[in-house]
Structure 1
Amino acid sequence: MEWIADVSVGNWLRERLSEDWSIHHFVPHDFEACARVFHAPSVRSAADAADAVGEATTWAAAAAAFGTTLHAQASWQHLVKTPTEGSWHTRVAPDGRKFSAPSEGNLDDATLNQLATHLLAHTTTPDDGFAAVWEGWGGLVGDARTGPSQNSLTYSEDAVHQQMLQQSIYSPLDKLFQRRTWHPGILSDEISKGPRLELPDRDHVLFSAAPSMFTQSEWRNSAPWDDEPLSLLWPADHAWVVVTEIDYDSTIVAGSNELIRAICTDSSLEALPLREGASLHWDADDINR
C-alpha cells in the first residue's frame, strides 16, 4: 500500500457527488444500486455492571427489543425510541437490556473482510485499486501550529506565589511573534504536507490498495495509517465504491445490482438495499418517528 500524490485518480468521485444532504453528498451517483451495511451496536444484560463491555448485536435485535421497525433509512435514535432531550448512545429496552449505539465512521475489520469477498467477485481489477482515509482523525497527519510559551508552571502551596506562576506561563511575546512549530503525525511528513483528495466537506489521504487485501484479517499490517478506519475503497475499474462517512453509523456500497443483491442476502452481514437519493440524516426515519 503506497501513498499517491496524484489525487486526480479520484476526480471521478467528485464529479458524481451532489451538494444536497442525501447519501450522494458522499456516495457517487450513476451506479445501479446501493446497499447500507449497518455497523454493529452492542448490548448488555440488565444484570451486567455499568462498566461491562457489551456483546455485538444487530439493528434487527434492537428493533425487536424496542418494538420498532428496521428498514433501509432507519435512524438509530428513533429505532431505540430516544426521547427528544434524551441520549441515544445507550438506551434501556423494556426487557432491561442496555443497547449501545453503533460506531460512526468505522466499519469493523471482520465485517470489512466479509464484505470484501463480495466486492472481489464483482470487479475485473481485484489487485488494483485505491483506498483513502479522512485526514481529520486526531494525530493522523502532522501540522504546523502555534504552541504555548516555553515558560513552565510549577505548583506552589503559597497562594500569591501560585497566582504569579499561573500568570507567568503567558509570555507577552507569544502574541507578538506567534511562532509556529511542526508537529509530526502518524503518517510521514511528506504525506502530511502532500496533496489531498478533496471531496465535499471531507479531505482524504489517498493510497494505492489492492481490494483483494481487504479479505485478510492482517490487512492493517500494510496500512500506513495505523488503526484509523478506512473511509473510501474502490477498484481501478470503478465497478463499485465503498464509503464509510465519518458521521454515518453505516457503510454504503454502490455497485451493480448483482453485487448489492449478494451483499444484502449474506446472512453474516446486516445490510439492506438503499434507494437512489435516500437520506441517512438523523430525522429521515419516517417510519419510527
Structure 2
Amino acid sequence: MGWITDITPGAWLAERVDTVWHDMHSVVPRGYEAYARVFHPIIRDRPTDSTGWHEYDPARPVDIESETTTWNGTTRAFGLIMHPLVQSHLLFDPPQSSFGGIIDADGWRYSQPDTGNLDAVVLSRLATHLETHTTTPDATFAAIWEGWGGLVSSAGFATFSVFIGDTDLAASTAQHTPAEAPGAESPADVPEAESPADVPEAESATRDALYGAQPLPGTGLLPQEVAAGPRLELPGRAYLLFETGVTTFNDPTFLSRSPWSHDRWPQSPSIIWPADHAWVVVTEIDFDSTIVAGSRALIDEIVSDPALEALEVPEGADLGWKADTLNRPGS
C-alpha cells in the first residue's frame, strides 16, 4: 500500500460522473452493466438485566449487550418497507428515545449506520468477490477524501481520556468533518471547508485571532509530502491516491493499520477501482451505504451473498433524502 503522486489513474472517473447533482452519478461512474447498494451495518443494544431500554433505570448501572443487525430487520421492527432506495434518516430522524436512537418493542435501541465509512468486515467480504472480477487484481487504487479530520493536518481530530482518581476509565476519539448544511440533499449542497489559500489575508488574520492558527499540512496522520501532494479532483471532492492489490482489503484488520486511519477509527476508502476499470466501489462521504458498479456477474454475486446486505439499484438511482417515496411520511 503506497501513496502515489500520479493522479492520472483516476482521470477516467471525472469523465463518467456528473458535474450537477440529480442522482447517484454525481459520485458513481456511469456506463456499467449493473449496480448494487451495500448497506452499512446498524448496531443495536439493550440492558442485559431488564426488558430493554423501556425499563432502564439510569440510577442503577447495568451491563449493555450489543449486536449488529440489518436494515431489513430494522425496517421490519418499525413497520417500514425494505427496498433498494430506503433511507435511514426516515428511521432515525428525529430520535424517538430520551436515551438516543430508536427503541423497538423488545427494548432494543438502534443506532444510525455510519455515513461515508464501510465496515471493515463487510469490505473484506466484498473484496473476495471483487478480486475474481478483474484482470488486474494486483493493481488497485484507493482514493481517500482529503477532508477527514486529522488526515492531512491535526484539525478536526482529538483524543481524550477520562480519569477518576488514578484509574483511566475510558479513552475516546473524536473525528469531525464539515457539517452538512441544513436541508442539504446531496454532496453538491454541502459546503466544502475553505483552504488557507482561499481565505483573504485580513479574514485569515481575524480567524487566527479568534480560533488560533490553522494547523499546517503534515501535522495529521499523513506526512507533509503526502498531505501537500497532488489531489484527484472530482465534482465537489478532492482525494489522495494510494495503490495496492485488492486482496489487501480481504484482511478486516487492514483498515486499522492503513496509512489514512487512526487505529481506533478505521476508515474505508472513498473510492476503490482496479486498473482495468472492471468495477468501482464508491463510499460517498454523505451516503449511509456503498455503491458497487460492475458486471452483471459481479453484481449478481454480491446481492446473493448472505454475508452481505445488498440490493441491486438501477442506473440513475436517486439516493437523496427524498428518494424513499415508499416510507416518506404521508406517502
Give the TM bin, normalised by the shorter chain: 0.7 to 0.9
SS in 1 for 2:22: coil
Q: Which TM-score applies when normalising by structure 2?
A: 0.71
Aligned positions, number:
256
Seen in structure 2, the aligned counterparts of structure 1 residues 224 and 287 have a Cα distance that, compared at 3 Å, is same
Q: In the alignment, is residue 55 of structure 1 matched against residue 51 of structure 2?
A: no
- 1:42 match: 43
Q: In the alignment, is residue 279 of structure 1 matched against residue 314 of structure 2?
A: no
CA root-mean-square deviation: 2.5
1:57-90 deviations in Å (ceiling 9; x for gaps): 0001111111111110001133x3x57xx23871
Cα distance in 1 for residues equivalent to 2:68 and 2:272? 25
Cα distance in 2 for residues equivalent to 1:180 and 1:268? 44
Q: In the alignment, is residue 104 of structure 1 matched against residue 143 of structure 2?
A: no
Select 1:185's aligned residue among 199, 220, 230.
Answer: 220
Cα distance in 1 for residues equivalent to 2:256 and 2:268? 13
Residue 65 of structure 1 contacts residue 95 of structure 1 at CA under 8 Å; is this kept in 2? no
- 1:159 match: none
Q: In the alignment, is residue 210 of structure 1 matched against residue 245 of structure 2?
A: yes
Residue 186 of structure 1 contacts residue 225 of structure 1 at CA under 8 Å; is this kept in 2? yes
Q: What letter is aligned with 1:270?
A: E
Cα distance in 2 for residues equivalent to 1:256 and 1:141? 35
- 1:24 match: 25
Q: In the alignment, is residue 69 of structure 1 matched against residue 112 of structure 2?
A: no
Offset, 1:223: 2.2
**Mean Cα deviation higher: 260-269 or 17-26:** 17-26
Cα distance in 1 for residues equivalent to 2:123 and 2:278? 17
Seen in structure 2, the aligned counterparts of structure 1 residues 7 and 265 have a Cα distance that, compared at 3 Å, is same
SS in 2 for 1:206: strand
Q: In the alignment, is residue 117 of structure 1 matched against residue 128 of structure 2?
A: yes
Offset, 1:37: 0.2
1:165-211 deviations in Å (ceiling 9; x for gaps): xxxxxxxxx65x97776351100100111111111111111011211
- Any unmatched runs of 5+ in structure 1? 145-173
Offset, 1:53: 5.9
Offset, 1:219: 2.6
**Larger Rg, first or second structure (1 or 2):** 1
Cα distance in 1 for residues equivalent to 2:148 and 2:22? 22
- 1:87 match: 95
Identity %: 45
> Residues 97-246 of structure 1: matches in 2 within 5 Å?
97-142=108-153, 182=216, 184-220=219-255, 223-226=258-261, 227-246=266-285
Q: What letter is aligned with 1:203?
A: A
SS in 1 for 2:247: helix
Residue 135 of structure 1 contacts residue 204 of structure 1 at CA under 8 Å; is this kept in 2? yes
Offset, 1:112: 0.5
Residue 42 of structure 2 contacts residue 113 of structure 2 at CA under 8 Å; is this kept in 1? yes
Cα distance in 2 for residues equivalent to 1:229 and 1:116? 12
Seen in structure 2, the aligned counterparts of structure 1 residues 208 and 118 have a Cα distance that, compared at 3 Å, is same
Offset, 1:34: 0.5
Cα distance in 1 for residues equivalent to 2:257 and 2:110? 34
Q: In the alignment, is residue 263 of structure 1 matched against residue 275 of structure 2?
A: no
